Amino acid sequence: MPGMTLAIGSSASLLDQARAGDLEAFEQLVRDHERAVLGTALRLTGRLEDAQDAAQEAFLRLYRNLKKIQSETEVRSWLCRVTINVCHDMRRRKRPTADLADYDPASSAPDPEMSFLDMQRGELVAKGLQTLPEKERQAVVLRDVQGLSTREVAEILGSSEVTVRSQICVARMKLKKFTDKYLRKKS
Amino acid sequence: MKCSDCQLRIASEFVDSAVAEHLAGCGECREFAEEMAKNQEALRSVHLDPAALTAVRARVMAGIRPRRRFGWVWELVPAAVAVAFAAVMLWPKAPQIGRPDPVVFAKHVPDVPVPAPAPARRIEPARVPAPRRDFARAAHTLRMEIETGDPNVKIIWLIDEKGESL
C-alpha cells in the first residue's frame, strides 16, 4: 500500500549538512517530512492545533538528536516514533474528549452543525479514529496513513508483527462499523 | 467460507484465492471490501492547508535559529572566564587613591638585642661556626614585624646577624 510517501531524494546528504549545522539543510529536511508528520499527528490527535504543536515538538527533538541519527531511513522511522510519543503525551495531559462510540445520532438533539449525517467520509473516519483505543489508532495510522509495512509499524510501536496485524484488523473493522452506522442512516 | 471469515481476512489484508472465490459469489462481502477500501482511502487523504505546514516550519525554525545564531558565544564563555580570571590575577596592583598604604614599620623586639657591630679585627674562619638556620640563635636575630592594612595579617621577618633571612 503506497500510502503517504515521503520525499527521500537527497535527504541523506541533507542529513549530513544539517548535522554540520546547516540550517537551510535542516529546513529542507523539515519540508521533506512535514506533511507526513503533521498528517500523522492530525490523525492521532484529531485537532489541527494539537497536531501542529506535536509536529513542532517532533521536529525540534529531531534537531536536538541529529547526531544520533545515522540515515534518512532512520529519520523517517525516528520521526514516526517521536510523533506517536508526543501525541500520546499530549492526549494524556489533556482532558479526555467525548467518547464518540457512545454517540447515537437518533437519540441526540438535531444539531445540523454537529450531525454526523452531513459529514463526508473523510471527516467521519477522522472522528471514528478518535474512538479507537490508542494502540489500535497508532497502528492503523502508521499503516494506512503513513503506508508503513506491518514490520515497520511493529518496530516503531515496540510490538510484535502478530499483535500489530491484529490491532490493524480490529481497528479497520471498528472504523467500518463506525462509518456504516452513520452513512447508512444518511442513506 | 463464511462471510465473517472472509471479511476478517479482508480487514487483515490476507486475500488469497479462497477469499477471491468467495467475493466472486457474495455481494455482501464485495460491498464490505469496497467500503473498507474507501475508508482506507479516506484515511490516507489527509487534507492539509499549506499555511498550516508553513506555520509549523516557521515555528520550528524560529525555535532553532536563536540558539544557533549565538551558539558560538556560549562556546566561548569558559575561555572568556579563564582569560578574565587570569587578567585579574596578573594585573599590576596600582595604589588606591584615598586609601592609605599599609603601615610598614620595623620595631625591635625588646628581648632581642641589636647585633653588635662586627669587630674590627678579622675573625678566623675556622673559629666561626657554620651558620645554622635555627631559632636557637634567636638572640642574635633581628625580628621585623610589618603590619598591613588588614589587622589580621602581619608579616614577620627574621634576619640573622649576617643579614640573611631565616
CATH number of the domain enclosing A47: 1.10.1740.10
- Are A56 and A131 found together in one domain? no
- Are A77 and A112 found together in one domain? no
Query: What is the reported pLDDT for A2?
Result: 41
Query: What is the reported pLDDT for B61?
Result: 93
Which among A96, A127, A148 is the end of a domain?
A96
**Which residues in chain B have their CB less than 8 angstroms from residue A165's CB?**
12
- Are A103 and A83 found together in one domain? no
- Closest to A14 (Cα-Cα) out of A34, A35, A31: A31
Q: Do A125 and B42 touch (CB under 8 A)?
A: yes
| C-beta separation of A153 from A99 below 8 A | no
Burial of A48: CB neighbours in 10 Å, binned 0-12, 13-18, 19+: middle
- Are A159 and A84 found together in one domain? no
Q: Which of B32, B36, B60 comes nearest A30 by C-beta?
A: B60
| C-beta separation of B112 from B159 below 8 A | no
**Which residues in chain B have their CB less than 8 angstroms from residue A23's CB?**
61, 64-65, 68
- Higher-scoring residue by pLDDT: B96, B57: B57
- Are A86 and A125 found together in one domain? no
Residue A139 has pLDDT above 50, yes or no: yes
Measure CA A160 to chain center.
Answer: 19
Q: Locate the domains of chain B by residue range.
A: 3-44, 50-80, 101-110+136-166
**Which residues in chain B have their CB less than 8 angstroms from residue A173's CB?**
7-8, 11
Query: What is the reported pLDDT for A67?
Result: 87
- Are A73 and A105 found together in one domain? no
**Which residues in chain A have their CB less than 8 angstroms from residue B68's CB?**
21, 23
Signed CA dihedral, A143, A146, A147, A152: sign only = negative
- Closest to B129 (Cα-Cα) out of B162, B93, B85, B151: B162
| C-beta separation of A32 from A7 below 8 A | yes
Q: Smallest CA–CA separation between B67 and chain A, in Å? A: 11
Query: What is the reported pLDDT for B55?
Result: 94
| C-beta separation of B135 from B166 below 8 A | yes
CA A97 to each of CA A45, A53, A92, B117: distance values in angstroms, whole numbers, following the listed order: 10, 18, 11, 105
Determine the 3-state secondary structure of B58 from DSSP: helix
- Are A140 and A130 found together in one domain? yes
| C-beta separation of A51 from A33 below 8 A | no
Determine the 3-state secondary structure of B143 from DSSP: strand
Q: Whole-number mean pLDDT of chain A?
A: 80
Q: Smallest CA–CA separation between A117 and chain B, in Å? A: 16
- Closest to A168 (Cα-Cα) out of B16, B17, B14: B14
- Are A28 and A102 found together in one domain? no
A64: containing domain: 1-96
Lowest mean pLDDT among A13-17, B32-36, B118-122: B118-122
Percentage of chain B modeled with pLDDT above 90: 9
- Higher-scoring residue by pLDDT: B158, B59: B59
Which among A44, A70, A96 is the end of a domain?
A96
CATH of the domain at A179: 1.10.10.10
Which among A77, A96, A115 is the end of a domain?
A96
- Higher-scoring residue by pLDDT: B31, B1: B31
- As for how many domains chain A has, the answer is 2
Q: Do A176 and B38 touch (CB under 8 A)?
A: no
Q: Do A145 and B63 touch (CB under 8 A)?
A: no
- Are A76 and A133 found together in one domain? no
Q: Do B11 and A4 touch (CB under 8 A)?
A: no
Q: Hey, what's the cell of A142? A: 502508521
Q: Predicted ipTM?
A: 0.75
- Are A67 and A111 found together in one domain? no
Query: What is the reported pLDDT for B121?
Result: 64
- Are A109 and A72 found together in one domain? no
Beta strand residue intervals within chain B, DSSP E? 142-147, 154-159
pTM assigned to the model: 0.61
Q: Smallest CA–CA separation between B24 and chain A, in Å? A: 21
- Are A87 and A143 found together in one domain? no
| C-beta separation of A129 from A175 below 8 A | yes
Residue A171 and residue A176: Cα distance in Å, rounded?
9
- A1 pLDDT tier (thresholds 50, 70, 90): very low
